[in-house]
Structure formats: C-alpha cells, structure tokens
Amino acid sequence: MSVAPLGRRLAALVVDWVLVELIVAAVTRHSIFSGTQDAHYFSTMYWTLLVFGLEVWLLTAISGITVGKRLLGIRVIRTNGSRPGFGWALLRTVLLFFVVPPLLSDRDLRGLHDRATDTIVVRM
C-alpha cells in the first residue's frame, strides 16, 4: 500500500466536514446560507464539531475509513497493518482538532498526529 497524498487526505476531511454540517443543519433547522443571522447558527456549529469528532473517532477506530476517506479511496491503518482501535483513534481525532499536527508532516507524509498514534493514511 502506498501513502495517500496530502491533497487526497485534505479532500476527505472536507467531504466529512461538509456532510456532517449538512446533516446537523438539517436537524437544527439552520439555513446554511443565512450565516450568523440565523438563531440556530451557534448551536449548529457546536453540534457540528461534536458530531464530526464522533464520526471521525468511531469510524476510524472501527474500520479506519470515514465517509470522505471511502469516497477518495484512502484509509487509516496502524503501521503494523491493523485497525487503529478506539484509544489511538481518539488521540488521533483530538490531535486533528488542533489543526497544526496534521499539517506538519515528515518525509513519509505522516502528520504529527499520525506519528503520535503510530498510524498512517494509505491508498486502498
């Protein structure tokens, strides 16, 4: 398996975020195009963060594949080839929310969040 390029990983993250945003906006009845003028704006943003974190954590822990990763043909695995598991996936997700660790990568294209959790994003 080869390492997934940064562009593909970023696109998968955007797909996951947009999907969660659309689902949460539909549940909270927030109009995405109204911006901060909508009374449900802030509750939608908070719920989006929570649901996004849960989606990434659970799907990464169970299968290594989120919806966005599946659509772009990539997955997260441990360096020994196994699935990440709940503990490592939780740490990886928390570090993902800090934004900087995923942007800093080594020569193997592994972000700091991947190095800290002994994972790597590969093509399927």
Domain that holds residue 93: 6-123
Spell out the per-residue pLDDT of the chain, length 124, in tens: 789 988 899 999 999 999 999 999 889 887 777 767 777 788 888 999 999 999 999 999 999 999 999 999 999 999 999 999 999 999 999 999 888 777 788 888 888 888 899 999 999 8
Q: Which long-range contacts (CB under 8 A, 24 or more apart) does 79-84 make?
A: 79/118, 79/119, 79/120, 84/60, 84/117, 84/119
Query: Is 74 part of a structural domain of the chain?
Result: yes
pLDDT of residue 105: 80
Residue at 78: amino acid letter = R
CB of 20 closer than 8 Å to CB of 48:
yes
For residue 122, the surrounding DSSP H or E stretch is: strand 119-123
Query: Is 1 part of a structural domain of the chain?
Result: no
| Residue 3, beta-bridge partner list | 122
Torsion angle defined by CA atoms of residues 82, 85, 90 and 95, in that order, rounded to the nearest 10 degrees: -10
Query: Is 71 part of a structural domain of the chain?
Result: yes
pLDDT of residue 93: 94
pLDDT of residue 110: 86
Query: Is 28 part of a structural domain of the chain?
Result: yes
- Separation in Å, CA 95 to CA 18, 28, 29, 92, 101: 20, 27, 30, 5, 7
Query: Is 100 part of a structural domain of the chain?
Result: yes
How many domains, in total, are found in the chain? 1
CB of 30 closer than 8 Å to CB of 23:
no
